């Protein structure tokens, strides 16, 4: 299995999940290197933001420029994440400026959500290296960054072994794995 095929299957499954959420407008953010993949997996009419880096602040800025009041940036390697987990990431934004969901042990963050424009104190990181504690270091108050439900990202054999064949979705990843 080629790495490119793996990344494409995971990303397409995440996009398919997001496109079906009734209360959210899905978009794809991609660097120039991944723009072709983004165009291949986007649903008709789905926004694609070309961003200079694979970090969350450029994505949040692009969403703010399009007039959105809040946005979430999600990892593309969580193909089987339930929609409920994503809803929980946006829910705290009524009272807190930033919410995060951990991506499992040692896997950074599943996602970052923020009211827009993003707070000026929010430091930019990629989801692989970010953590709730890292984001809280620059917040005026630690409570300004709330943690929501965790969901593991699919980044290695341990996570693959935890895939639940009973969960719906993640059809592209399942097909690539031969299931």
Torsion over CA of 24, 71, 115 and 110, rounded to 10 degrees? 110
Q: Which domains does the chain have, with CATH numbers?
A: 3-158 (3.90.550.10)
The predicted structure's pLDDT at residue 91: 92
Measured from the Cβ of residue 40, the count of other Cβ atoms closer than 10 Å reads 11
- The residues, any chain, with a CB within 8 Å of residue 67's CB and separated by 6 or more, are none
Q: At 56, give phi and psi (nearest 5°).
A: -85, -25
Q: How many CB atoms lie within 10 A of CB 172?
A: 20
- CA dist., res. 131 & res. 111, Å (int): 10
The residue with tokens 């409570």 is 143
Q: What is the pLDDT of residue 1?
A: 56
- What per-residue confidence (pLDDT) applies to 168? 74
Distance (Å, rounded) from C-alpha 7 to C-alpha 46?
19
End-to-end CA distance of the chain: 14
What is the token pair recorded at 29?
Answer: 């953010």
Q: If you write DSSP's letter for every residue of 36-100 in order, what string do you get?
A: HHHHHHPPTT-EEEE-SSSSHHHHHHHHHHTT-SEEEEE-TT-TT--HHHHHHHHGGGGT-SEEE
Whether the predicted model's global pTM rises above the 0.85 cut:
yes
Per-residue pLDDT of the chain (179 residues; tens, 9 = 90+): 576 888 888 899 899 989 988 888 999 999 999 999 999 999 999 999 999 999 999 999 999 999 999 999 999 998 888 888 988 999 999 899 999 999 988 899 999 999 999 999 999 999 999 999 999 999 999 999 999 999 989 887 777 777 777 777 788 888 887 75
**Paired sense of beta strands 145-148 and 98-102, if any:** parallel
């Amino acid at each position: 299995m080629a790495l490119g095929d793996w990344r494409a299957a995971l990303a397409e499954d995440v996009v398919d999940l997001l496109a079906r959420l009734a209360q959210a407008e899905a978009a794809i953010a991609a660097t120039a290197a991944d723009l072709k993949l983004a165009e291949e997996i986007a649903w008709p009419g789905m926004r694609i933001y070309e961003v200079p880096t694979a970090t969350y602040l450029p994505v949040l800025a692009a969403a703010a420029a399009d007039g959105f009041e809040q946005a979430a940036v999600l990892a593309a390697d969580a193909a089987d994440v339930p929609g409920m987990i994503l809803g929980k990431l946006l829910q705290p934004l009524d009272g807190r400026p930033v919410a995060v969901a951990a991506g499992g042990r040692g896997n950074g963050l599943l996602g970052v959500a923020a009211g827009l424009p993003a707070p000026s104190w929010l430091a930019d990181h990629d989801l692989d290296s970010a953590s709730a504690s890292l984001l809280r270091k620059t917040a005026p108050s630690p409570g300004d960054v709330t943690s929501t439900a965790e969901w593991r990202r699919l980044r290695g054999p341990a996570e693959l072994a935890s895939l639940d064949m009973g969960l719906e979705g993640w059809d592209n990843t399942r097909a690539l794995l031969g299931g």
